[in-house]
């Protein structure tokens, strides 16, 4: 409960920063004048990106279980829904649980594949910022964002690659577990083995390259959504600004906040398009509201539909989280 309260407080701080100095009359005027039919192609291209993510996950999951992208698409949608309605990216645990229910895959191994996904996502966002910086001069805040992303994602992926490809990595970790009390060792050993199974895809160069390419395609689809909805507000954004807004907004969702990332997302859009590009704050904020809604509502409804279809249980998820934490 304490973490939920902290997340809500963080969201309130970011919303305050985003709303400070806003011209609310201009904001509501922009919302009234928007051409909302742009939402149709925007949402379609977004779901294309979600489908590509399901294909990518099927590639990374091959050492863990054989599941087609069609089997995984409902699980991906359920995970997005859970991230939108539950705090602190609980959707990742929900995805692992849902996959375990359908295919019997280890939850620990599945979570390891999701960690690889997040690393590829972070590196793609970093690449977007670097590409945009060729055309758009970044301010000091955005340069610090890029440096922070590089400092987090590059070393972590390098460590994962070394761990996956070195024959001695698992033995080294298992030796460390010998320092633990005897009653914990069997459970920790099972989790270590499952975790290494989950990153096994990193041992195969073509698999890594395929997953990286699919990551770029998925995020370009989402960036296209950003560009299409911008047109409904008369914001004719350059490709560089679209990539920059996509990257900064999604990196901001890593900040602990309320479910749905309310606050950090809007503040990040303002930072990229108003703070850097000098576009009107009221128009940019109204765009951020509609964009956030388009990212939130359709996938949440689809995820809930799949949730009910597969008869999943929130109670069982809480039990699965407790089991995962204990390694049982």
Task: Give the range among 140-149, 219-228, 240-249, 308-317 with minimum mean pLDDT.
Answer: 308-317
**What's the rounded mean pLDDT across residues 69-74?**
95
Distance CA 180, CA 195 (A): 18
Cβ atoms of 146 and 129 within 8 Å: the answer is yes
Quote the mean pLDDT of the chain: 89
Give the chain's count of helices (H) and strands (E): 14, 0
**Cα–Cα distance list, 125 to 30, 172, 245 (Å):** 29, 32, 10
Whether 96 contacts 107, CB under 8 Å: yes
pLDDT band at 147 (very low <50, low <70, confident <90, very high): very high
Burial-class residue 240 by CB neighbours within 10 Å (0-12, 13-18, 19+). middle
Residue with tokens 């009234």: 32
How much is the pLDDT for 210? 97
* Cα angle: 116, vertex 120, 123; to 5 degrees: 140
pLDDT at residue 319 above 70? no
Looking at residue 318, its pLDDT comes to 64
Q: How confident is the model at residue 43 (pLDDT cuts 50, 70, 90)?
A: very high
**Would you state the pLDDT for residue 174?**
64
Residue-wise pLDDT for 3-22, tens only, equals: 778 888 888 999 998 888 88
Rounded mean pLDDT of 57-82? 94
- On whether the CB atoms of residues 249 and 225 are closer than 8 A, the answer is no
Tokens of 36: 């909302």
Structure tokens at 248: 């900064």
pTM of the model: 0.90
199: phi then psi, degrees, rounded to nearest 5: -100, 10
Considering only residues 40 and 260, tell me which one the structure prediction assigns the higher pLDDT: 40
pLDDT higher for 82 or 42?
42
**Torsion of Cα atoms, 80 then 89 then 127 then 279, to 10°:** 80
In this prediction, residue 324 carries a pLDDT of: 47
In Å, how far are 57, 60, 94, 326 from 66, measured between CA atoms?
11, 10, 19, 27
Q: Residue 89 and residue 86: Cα distance in Å, rounded? A: 7
Exposed, middle or buried, 316 (CB in 10 Å: 0-12/13-18/19+)?
A: exposed
Highest mean pLDDT among 100-109, 169-178, 204-213: 204-213
Domain ranges in the chain are 2-326
Provide the 3-class DSSP secondary structure of residue 228: helix
The answer to whether the beta carbons of residues 247 and 122 sit under 8 Å apart is no
The percent of residues above 90 in pLDDT, for the chain, comes to: 63
């Amino acid at each position: 409960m304490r973490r939920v309260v902290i997340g809500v407080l963080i969201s309130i701080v970011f919303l305050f920063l985003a709303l400070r100095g806003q011209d609310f009359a201009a904001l509501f005027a922009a919302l009234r004048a928007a051409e909302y039919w742009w939402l149709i192609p925007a949402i379609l291209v977004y779901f294309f990106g979600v489908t590509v993510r399901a294909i990518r996950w099927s590639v990374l999951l091959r050492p863990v279980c054989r599941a087609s992208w069609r089997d995984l698409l409902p699980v991906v949608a359920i995970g997005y829904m859970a991230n939108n309605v539950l705090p602190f990216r609980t959707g990742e645990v929900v995805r692992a649980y849902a996959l375990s229910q359908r295919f019997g895959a280890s939850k620990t191994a599945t979570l390891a594949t999701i960690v690889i996904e997040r690393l590829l996502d972070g590196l793609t966002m970093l690449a977007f910022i670097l590409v945009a910086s060729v055309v758009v001069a970044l301010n000091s805040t955005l340069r610090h964002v890029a440096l922070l992303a590089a400092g987090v994602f590059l070393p972590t992926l390098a460590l994962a690659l070394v761990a996956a490809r070195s024959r001695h990595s698992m033995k080294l970790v298992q030796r460390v577990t010998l320092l633990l009390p005897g009653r914990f060792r069997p459970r920790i050993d099972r989790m270590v083995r499952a975790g290494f199974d989950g990153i096994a895809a990193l041992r195969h160069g073509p698999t890594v390259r395929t997953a990286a390419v699919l990551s770029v395609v998925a995020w370009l689809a989402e960036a296209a959504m950003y560009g299409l909805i911008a047109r409904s507000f008369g914001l004719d954004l350059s490709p560089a600004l679209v990539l920059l807004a996509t990257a900064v907004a999604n990196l901001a969702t890593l900040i602990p906040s309320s479910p749905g990332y309310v606050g950090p997302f809007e503040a990040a859009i303002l930072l990229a398009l108003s703070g850097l590009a000098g576009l009107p704050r009221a128009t940019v904020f109204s765009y951020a509201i509609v964009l956030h809604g388009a990212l939130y509502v359709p996938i949440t409804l689809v995820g809930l539909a799949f949730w009910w279809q597969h008869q999943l249980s929130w109670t069982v998820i809480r039990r699965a989280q407790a089991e995962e934490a204990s390694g049982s």
